[in-house]
Structure 1
């Protein structure tokens, strides 16, 4: 309509201009005044006619626009139009009443713009928008946008309130869904009145019409109503309650939650049919008896006076009493005094519906099984406590594992302590032995000072032997494993063992045929056998027999003894058995601890068996001991079988006896212990080497970079503050990739090898070492 009016005005203006222009031309052309008068009248008449037509059309258009606007304002939906810049160009009154205020209050302009964008792409778009009303109520609007084809960029919108329609549809859909569900659904208040019940539940609870409106009236047992509604003050809305009830002799199982409504609660309940019946609740039911008797845990039932009602077979076996000796008697008479008070308190709590949260240690008179844990719960029937049910579990295995764990932790802690002490002592002994060697070079053997210095060195070497035993126990000594035949090793050792045992003790060695190979440090293996033989000799005193037996052994399942367990696998067994005095059970768990000894003061160091234990463990084996006081002791050592590869060869170290230990190489010496560094530097300088010293790893790296010297050899400690030896070597290898390295340490070589990715040109010299050991090692590597 507006477009038509606009076109008419444009046509009238053009016509007027043309007529006026024409008239003016004629006026100039015509000279007679008569002609001018006639033309003026004609032009004026045309203009009047044209204006009359325009006014007539304007009145018509105005009437039509007013009619359209009144119609738009009378619609229940809001209507509005936006142009290409999303500016409002038209709106009706419902738009202002319903939508504009909510649009601003709810800050949903982004949704409006999204619908506008979709309409411009697809000509029509629709969206349900949830808004919050002025009173906080929830409102839902359907917003429809349509692109106007004849007006490019313009979008017409309609907005309608659909809140009531959606709520009714949702409620109808939900009610229809619940009515068709194959389970019962209902809601009641605390008086039992139905607020809602679906078709299935209504059919299940069908009774005379006067009772249909209240659940409590149709219950077979009136007391079941207590299960539906406990005391209101104890209700937990976050908890799901479960219980059974019966209607018309049919049992049902119900799950329900509570919803607070005013001062009352209402239920949201889901109900299923159940096969349970009154007889099955009774303790005498056959199903209960079957489960009760076959249970893997011991079970005891007592009444409120603690009289024993029933016991199962497992419990009778646990306390080694027949059920006929227990049933009907009072539990108090069977309890040991040490646990009676705790058990009686727990039973009283069960009678008050408070089950125990933690197990209770319990023991009975006249039984050896003291490792029992009890869980006590109330025994109920029809929501009434009639006694207590006690479940018993044996904790023997658990306690055994706890003891094994504590023992292994203690041994590990002692081992770490021994290893740390041994490392520190090795540093001290290295300096003592080294400076003794330097002093011996200044004195001739004929001098008294030479003899004094030798005494110091010999005692230092004895101390080094003790340190090696500590390292053996802590499994941190340096081993040189080789593939050996245990039969040959024991045959070579037999002569030495006979001299150690003496003529009064007979040595019997029995070898099995086709023994498997093992991979061990031969010297350390011999040390194990010698230490056990010496202990056996001291236990047999004047006379006896020591048997050494070997055999192949396949362990098919985990074997546990003496706080240790051996996994399945193939092992070579070395059994050393004596006929001595034996070891009592109260100390047998401590015999492998360092410095533990039953010998007289001064008769031993207490490191013999701990050294055996450490060597066996570091080799990957296991050691177990059996002993009977007065009859003897049997040590069994299991070493893992070694399967030798075809290309594998036994490595034999060749003894090097070099007469000339001098040299001229450039050596970087890194050691944080000043005394060790001073001795090693002097010893190497005396042999002609050029030595640069560093007290830690970081200083060594800086010296290597700064001096720009190509070192022929680096001698370094392993454990140092800050940057340790392996880290330092990895750093220096970045710019000196071929430099040779000797690690000196009191710890085992394996402790640092893994940090170096098995690189070549890495050698090891264990502490303590003397001057000759150091010079020989350096000469050997450089050559």
Structure 2
């Protein structure tokens, strides 16, 4: 800034001339009026002295003003702020960048000045503008957790008024980091907070994810090592503690003669974004509370609010009652665990539990309220969740004047939900094994029925009296076979033909069928996300999943009012980060999701946990078998995916209803050998002549049907009832072109027989017959030149399959 002249007389040469003429006129006037030379001389001398003094004072003021108004030297300021890693900028009243450190310039450039940085996130830009306004108004402002770039770094920003007239803002930018946060917590634990907790009978330590001590309060160091200034960093936290037979915690140095403690584990993963994304790396705050903390002796009036705030922030639910059992206080975690609010907390703890448990909790509170040093727990059922018992901890508390009882309760809703899901998965696994076994045995029966029907039809022509009856038996047998396929799908033991495909293509294939199934009153909407990853699944089975979910949605909508509604099928890309918050049994990874949502009113909460159970249905008798959703569940799980159901409220212009979400893992890599072999464009190889077949089957009726079918097709068949006899045929010099064998047989089963045969005939092809899934069989049996045919099969199917295998082996 340049110095400038003040206005007024004497500020310019013209002003000085006017002032001099005025003085001459005044002296002349005194001479004319008084006619006294002495008086005139004295008057002139006084004016001259006064003018000289005025000139001197004005010169000093002008010099001082020129010094004050000298322009600032920004090079000095730049040298002061230009430190390594310091992101500092200075702006004027017009938000123009006046000066900036080299670190700030390299990070944000010099084209824009705060608070007008070019940011992609609108929230961060608004936060900078708000910080500037507050700094101009209050003198200082601060903002944190700001995203100022494309990376994941979060920033804290501080702005402060400075300079002559406070007409500049000094901006300081600092990146936030978990390491800095951990250091801050360490300083609190080893400093004033740790000492305050020690006076309250609470010892604290900050423990890393690996279980080593990062920081310890003086009270912890004194109890663990006998010296409050001892350095315990890097030592194993568990080495300082011991448990007795009642699982009470003692410091190892004091042994059982010392005070017992209660351990409170406080994970710190929720207070930092980096720790929240990687909870396994987050440290933990370990609080050890004396079993009978004398709060009245140790906690002063100024520290009591701090301790109360600390208790309210703990994830452990804590409440206290007087000796008569009346509640004194309860922290928010306790209120959440019991499903109450602060205003809804009853007078007595017994009012929180079901009627059958009221006596037990009243007796326990009365016993611990006598004032003795004791702690324990009691199993109760809360009124808000009567089906899930919880463990309520009780401890006598001394030092508050009257004896009191401390109640502790962990909010275990997530743990309870996880247990429920694990129990549901175990139940489904057990039922699936039972259903798979029943279906396998039933397939043997159906194979014989269908095979004998085929043989009888060869001897009857259309028009015969028995022809239609045989056809009806065969048709009903095929319906029964479809039922067994549903059981196998539920038990995840059906034969799948997986392909690498895109979900939108599968939905497009069945969209016309869905429109006919839904009718004119139900609107079908289809939405697809971008960049969907391919999945590997059986397209036919996937179509069955879509159709079953659509039919269920149609029936749910039809049960509401006039039967009009909307069904939305959408696909969505699910990233690795999103899967961390999904089902606990779902491993992290990339998934493609299929969401089927309807406006049918939703699934009743009482039956939500049973909808995937086999033979469970809410439909009227004769209108549903209860295998639809169980089959869907089996197909999805066998395909490596997951399915979840939930009720959703009104949104996106749609009413309330149910939403079924199917997650299928994204397939990475080329098609498998089985998929290449199943290529429909590959020409089929045919067997032109007869062959010698060794047939091994323990079921007499299945063996008889298969033997007659193969003999009729021109093959020479040797049939044996078990694996030992089949192996003996080969060992005794029998010559065969193919072995056709059942998988599950008493004594030596099919795979064991096949391995023994391969030692004698390494190149002999083997065709397995089974009612279980081919994929399961191949995972359990590692044999080259192995083929598979699923039961039940017809006479034509077994003959054609044997011919194809012999043709492939001879090629």
For 1:464-479, list aligned pairs within 5 A. Answer: 464-479=481-496
Q: What is residue 775 of structure 2 aligned with on the other side?
A: 750
1:304 aligns with 2:323: yes
Q: Structure 1 CA distance, aligned partners of 2:399 and 2:682?
A: 90
Cα distance change, pair 281–663 in 1 and its aligned pair in 2 (3 A): farther
Deviation at 1:353, TM superposition (A): 4.1
- Counterpart in the other structure of 2:417: 400
Describe the shift of the 1:549–1:772 C-alpha distance in structure 2 as closer, same or farther (beyond 3 A).
same
| Cα displacement (A) at 1:553 | 1.9
Which is higher, the Rg of structure 1 or of structure 2? 1
Q: Tell me whether 1:242 sits opposite 2:257 in the alignment.
A: yes
Q: State how 1:491-640 maps to structure 2 within 5 Å.
A: 491-541=508-558, 542-558=563-579, 565-627=585-647, 631-640=656-665
Q: Which residue of 2 aligns with 1:666?
A: 692
Residue 333 of structure 1 and its aligned partner are, at CA, apart by 7.0
What does 1:300-379 align with in structure 2 at a 5 Å threshold?
300-308=319-327, 311-312=330-331, 314-315=333-334, 318=337, 337-350=355-368, 351=370, 353=372, 355=374, 357-361=376-380, 363=382, 373-379=391-397
Question: Superposition pairs for residues 136-535 of structure 1, below 5 Å?
Answer: 241-242=256-257, 282=297, 284=299, 286=303, 289=307, 292-308=311-327, 311-312=330-331, 314-315=333-334, 318=337, 337-350=355-368, 351=370, 353=372, 355=374, 357-361=376-380, 363=382, 373-380=391-398, 386-535=403-552
Measured in 1, the distance between the counterparts of 2:387 and 2:617 equals 33
Q: Which moved more, 1:307-316 or 1:405-414?
A: 307-316
Change beyond 3 A, Cα 1:578–1:418: same
The two structures have a TM-score, normalised by structure 2, of: 0.57
Check 1:518–1:734 CA distance in 2 against 1; reply closer, same or farther (3 A cut).
same
Give the SS at the match of 2:736. coil
Deviation of 1:340 (Å): 2.7
* CA distance in structure 2 between the aligned counterparts of 1:326 and 1:483, rounded to whole angstroms: 57
**Cα distance in structure 2, aligned partners of 1:760 and 1:508:** 47
1: CA distance between counterparts of 2:352 and 2:703? 73
**C-alpha contact 1:299 1:314 (8 A) present in aligned 2:** yes
**Quick one: distance in 1 between partners of 2:671 and 2:631?**
34
Q: Is the 8 A contact 2:541 2:635 kept in 1?
A: yes
Relative to structure 2, which stretch is displaced further, 565-574 or 477-486? 565-574
Number of residue equivalences: 507
Whole-Å separation in 2 of the counterparts to 1:425 and 1:571:
36
Question: Which secondary structure state, in structure 2, belongs to the residue aligned with residue 596 of structure 1?
Answer: coil
> What is the deviation of 1:703?
2.2
Q: CA deviation at 1:412?
A: 1.2
Q: 1:387 to 1:511 in 2, by over 3 A?
A: closer
Match of 1:765 among 780, 789, 808: 789
> What corresponds to 2:176 in structure 1?
none
Compared with structure 1, are the counterparts of its residues 390 and 511 closer, same or farther at alpha carbon in structure 2 (3 Å cutoff)?
closer
User: Which runs of no fewer than 5 residues in structure 1 stay unpaired?
Assistant: 1-238, 245-277
Q: Is the 8 A contact 1:584 1:628 kept in 2?
A: no
- Partners of 1:469 and 1:320 in 2: how far apart? 42
Q: CA offset at residue 289 of structure 1?
A: 3.5
Query: Structure 1 320/341 Cα, relative in aligned 2: closer, same or farther at 3 Å?
Result: same
Q: 1:371 to 1:396 in 2, by over 3 A?
A: farther
RMSD: 3.7
Could you tell me whether the CA contact under 8 Å between 2:349 and 2:361 is conserved in 1? no
Q: Go from structure 1 to structure 2 and tell me whether the alpha carbon gap of 1:439 and 1:308 turns closer, same or farther (over 3 Å shift).
A: closer
Q: By how many angstroms is 1:438 displaced?
A: 0.8
Structure 2 counterpart SS, 1:723: coil
Q: 1:98 matched to which residue of 2?
A: none
Deviation of 1:598 after TM superposition, in Å, equals 1.9
Q: Secondary structure at the match of 1:586?
A: helix
User: What are the Cα deviations for residues 319-354 of structure 1, in whole angstroms up to 9, with x where unaligned?
Assistant: 687889989x76667776543311122224333747
CA gap 1:363/1:500 in 2 versus in 1, 3 angstroms:
closer
Q: Deviation of residue 362 (structure 1)?
A: 5.9
1:558–1:565 CA contact under 8 A, matched in 2: no
Alpha carbons 2:522, 2:564 under 8 Å: kept: yes
Q: Counterpart in 2 of 1:117?
A: none
1:84 equivalent in structure 2:
none
Matching of residue 741 in structure 1 with residue 763 in structure 2: no
Matches within 5 A, 1:689-768: 689-706=715-732, 708-757=733-782, 759-768=783-792
Contact persistence 1:661–1:776 (CA under 8 A): no
Deviation at 1:369? 13
Q: Is the 8 Å Cα contact of residues 662 and 689 (structure 1) preserved in structure 2?
A: no
- Give unmatched runs, 5+ long, in structure 2: 1-253, 260-292, 650-654
Structure 1 residues 770, 311: CA separation in 2 closer, same or farther (over 3 Å shift)? closer
- Conserved 8 A contact 2:595-2:659: yes
TM-score (norm 1): 0.59
1:726–1:752 contact (8 Å) kept in structure 2 = no
Pair 1:452–1:242, CA change in 2 (3 A): same
